[in-house]
Chain A
Amino acid sequence: AQKITQTQPGMFVQEKEAVTLDCTYDTSDPSYGLFWYKQPSSGEMIFLIYQGSYDQQNATEGRYSLNFQKARKSANLVISASQLGDSAMYFCAMRELNDYKLSFGAGTTVTVRA
């Protein structure tokens, strides 16, 4: 069964504006971690932000924040003040505490327009 769903294949955003990337997940394990990764056209996978299932507050890292809605099983990434360098593919991922691997969504391509 699909554990991570990203419903937006591609998005355009104007430079300096904010963009929200959707991610929903499915698990029955109460202990899990949620992650977002950025993959620019050069191909590397860059870790952006992490949210633990027991964290009370939404995670933030610079211009990245994770809007964690546990009851809805939603972990949306918000990128504020978009820059041209934010153009990339973004992947949502989850790891259950007792699992060994990350489960990835299909990704969302973000294109930032000047």
Chain B
Amino acid sequence: DADVTQTPRNRITKTGKRIMLECSQTKGHDRMYWYRQDPGLGLRLIYYSFDVKDINKGEISDGYSVSRQAQAKFSLSLESAIPNQTALYFCATGGLAGPQFFGPGTRLTVL
């Protein structure tokens, strides 16, 4: 089984709809992250969490919210989706040092 899983893998939605992307990990890491990837812009950090009670905004948090339900679960919500939130979304997990490990990604299209 994959160490970091994301659901759904693909989603098409309409402007104004609420969307939740979910992430689970079995690597036992405390730190979890949400990134988005746009063509030509690389990955940008949306939110990060160092433990269940510690949630922080990243570079591009406007229009997004998160919830850390447990050490292993970190969800990302778009309260009212807009077309420029169309992107590939990644959840990642990691320790204090060393690499971050990414989930398979969620392709989100907002019409």
Q: Which residues of A contact B (CB under 8 A)?
A: 33, 35, 37, 43-47, 50, 52, 91, 97, 100-102, 104-107
Distance A105 CA – B99 CA, assembled complex (angstroms)? 15
- B97 contacts which chain A residues (CB < 8 A)? 33, 52, 97
A-B contact pairs, 14 of them (CB 8 A): A33-B98, A44-B103, A44-B104, A44-B105, A45-B92, A97-B97, A100-B48, A100-B50, A101-B33, A101-B59, A102-B43, A104-B42, A106-B40, A106-B41
Select A104's contact among B43, B99, B107, beta carbons within 8 Å. Answer: B43
Chain B interfacial residues counted at CB < 8 A:
25
**Nearest CB on B from A29, distance (A):** 13
Given A44-B104, A50-B99; A101-B48 close (CB under 8 Å): yes
For residue B89, give the distance in angstroms from its CB to the closest CB of chain A. Answer: 11
Within 8 Å of chain A (Cβ to Cβ): is B64?
no
Q: Which of B41, B58, B101 contacts A101 (CB 8 A)?
A: B58
Contacts of A105 in B (CB 8 A): 42
Interface residues, chain B, with chain A CB atoms under 8 Å away:
31, 33, 40-43, 45, 48, 50, 56, 58-59, 88, 90, 92, 97-105, 107
Q: Least Cβ distance of B95 to chain A in Å?
A: 11
Closest to A31 in B: B97
Q: How far is the CB of A9 from chain B (nearest CB, A)?
A: 10
Could you tell me if A43 and B105 are in contact, using CB atoms closer than 8 angstroms? yes
Residues of A close to B33: CB separation below 8 A: 101
Q: Which residues of A contact B98 (CB under 8 A)?
A: 33, 50
Contact (Cβ within 8 A) B102 A44: yes
Q: Name 10 extra pairs, CB < 8 A, besides A52-B97, A91-B43, A102-B100.
A: A35-B100, A44-B102, A45-B43, A45-B105, A100-B48, A101-B33, A101-B59, A102-B43, A104-B43, A107-B42
